[in-house]
């Protein structure tokens, strides 16, 4: 055998040994990652399973359709908390999503301007503020001036909590959008605002919706800021308010004013209050309320994922 042939054979052997070594290292690394992932998921499945076991026993149709009963009596439901949670999230989204999207677009398009730097810095600071401080701020700013607790004050508090997640996620999604799309639209004569609405926003819609849902999921589980703003109201029922308005022939604006100006409950707030009471039926309902809250967040996320997948498939044709 010639020297070149021997050298070539050695290179092949070295290459094969290197390939086998990389393969072993790859399998070992994947195994370690899978094991660590499994270890990380164990607490999650443990908590979810435990909540399902404890709360599922007390879930029935009456739990969703009935109002609370007096202390010491069995039965009743958390209709007031479900309606209050949805109302607070609706108000919070109204005050958080449009400003959050506009701020994110500005920061993404003008990152180095004084206002862009200030918005990014303020978002970082706001994301680290404890939620109870947000509640105290809204109490001093809104509740003290109104003279009473209300769903409006609670919704604004949740909006402040949602803002950082919406702004930063939307900003990152806009940055990931190919710059050629924006440049092509501007080159064809479209103004900046129309390019943002017609080109950038649809292209980044999947990530933006994910960010909005993350913000809603965080706000939906908050209790501390609602103690100083929404307070809680076991007599809150939108159906009764609407029926009373129809009977008295009140306008829609009067009805909305009555709804938003009242203190309201929420699922985490009800869970917190029920868990402290020495009545077994209330403690059991606290577990059930925790399960309902968890299911609401789960349903919202699943619905959004299905919508995103279907939209992606439609865009691909």
pLDDT digits (tens, 9 = 90+) for 235-286: 998 888 888 888 888 888 888 899 999 999 999 999 999 999 888 889 999 9
pLDDT digits (tens, 9 = 90+) for 122-132: 998 998 899 99
The DSSP annotation for 233-272 comes to: -TT--HHHHHHHHHHTT--HHHHHHHHHTS----HHHHHH
Q: What is the CA radius of gyration of the chain?
A: 27
Residues shown for the chain: 317
Q: Distance between CA atoms of 135 and 140, rounded to whole angstroms?
A: 9
Over the chain, what is the mean pLDDT? Answer: 88
List CB contacts of 185: < 8 A, sequence separation 6 or more. 194, 195, 198, 199
76 φ/ψ angles, rounded to the nearest 5 degrees: 85, 175
CATH for 61-316 is 1.10.3720.10
This prediction has a pTM of 0.86
pLDDT digits (tens, 9 = 90+) for 53-89: 999 999 999 999 999 988 878 888 999 999 999 999 9
Task: Answer yes or no: are the C-beta atoms of 285 and 76 closer than 8 Å.
Answer: yes
């Amino acid at each position: 055998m010639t020297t070149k042939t021997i050298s070539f054979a050695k290179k092949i052997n070295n290459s094969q040994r290197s390939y086998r070594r990389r393969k072993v290292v790859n399998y070992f690394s994947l195994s370690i990652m899978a094991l660590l992932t499994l270890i990380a998921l164990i607490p999650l499945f443990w908590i979810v399973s435990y909540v399902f076991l404890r709360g599922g026993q007390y879930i029935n149709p009456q739990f969703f359709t009935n109002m609370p009963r007096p202390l010491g009596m069995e039965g009743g439901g958390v209709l007031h908390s479900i309606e209050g949670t949805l109302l607070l999230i609706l108000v919070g989204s109204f005050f958080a999503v449009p400003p959050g999207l506009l701020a994110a677009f500005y920061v993404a398009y003008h990152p180095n301007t004084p206002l862009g730097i200030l918005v990014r810095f303020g978002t970082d600071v706001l994301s680290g503020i404890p939620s109870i401080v947000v509640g105290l701020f809204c109490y001093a700013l809104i509740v003290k001036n109104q003279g009473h607790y209300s769903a409006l004050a609670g919704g604004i508090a949740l909006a402040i909590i949602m803002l950082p997640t919406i702004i930063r996620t939307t900003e990152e999604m806009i940055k990931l959008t190919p710059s050629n799309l924006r440049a092509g639209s501007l080159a064809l004569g479209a103004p900046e605002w129309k390019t943002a609405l017609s080109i950038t926003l649809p292209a980044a819609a999947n990530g933006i919706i994910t960010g909005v849902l993350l913000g809603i999921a965080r706000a939906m589980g908050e209790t501390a800021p609602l103690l100083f703003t929404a307070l809680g109201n076991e007599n809150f029922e939108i159906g009764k308010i609407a029926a009373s308005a129809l009977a008295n022939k009140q306008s829609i604006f009067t009805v909305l004013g009555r709804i938003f100006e009242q203190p309201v409950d929420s699922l985490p707030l009800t869970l917190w209050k029920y868990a402290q009471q020495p009545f077994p039926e209330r403690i059991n309902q606290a577990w059930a309320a925790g399960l309902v809250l968890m299911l609401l967040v789960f349903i919202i996320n699943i619905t959004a994922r299905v919508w995103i997948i279907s939209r992606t498939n439609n865009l691909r044709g």
